[in-house]
Amino acid sequence: MIVKSTPDHHDDPDDTGDPRVTNLVLVVVFVLVIAAGWWLVDALLEQRRLDDCAAQGRRDCGRIVVPPR
């Protein structure tokens, strides 16, 4: 006996959602991932610069923020 499986097709238009909303969500997630990657690379480069400076024996490697009077 051969049993053929039939795919479950639902013709309900509410299941698919609006593709514009889906695309917008994907674009926002993509932009957030790019921004997080940019921040991470910048932080790693800054840390490398500080490590290189400290390894050379310098004393003025870090930024000193002086509050205004």
List pLDDT tens digits, range 32-45: 999 999 999 999 99
Spatial distance between the Cα atoms of 65 and 36, rounded to a whole number of angstroms: 25
What's the rounded mean pLDDT across residues 52-58?
Answer: 90
List Cβ<8 Å contacts ≥24 apart for 3-10. Answer: none
Q: Tell me the backbone φ, ψ of residue 19, rounded to 5 degrees.
A: -65, -25
User: Count of CB atoms within 10 A of residue 61's CB?
Assistant: 14
Q: Considering the entire predicted model, what is its pTM?
A: 0.60
Say whether pLDDT at 11 is over 90.
Answer: no
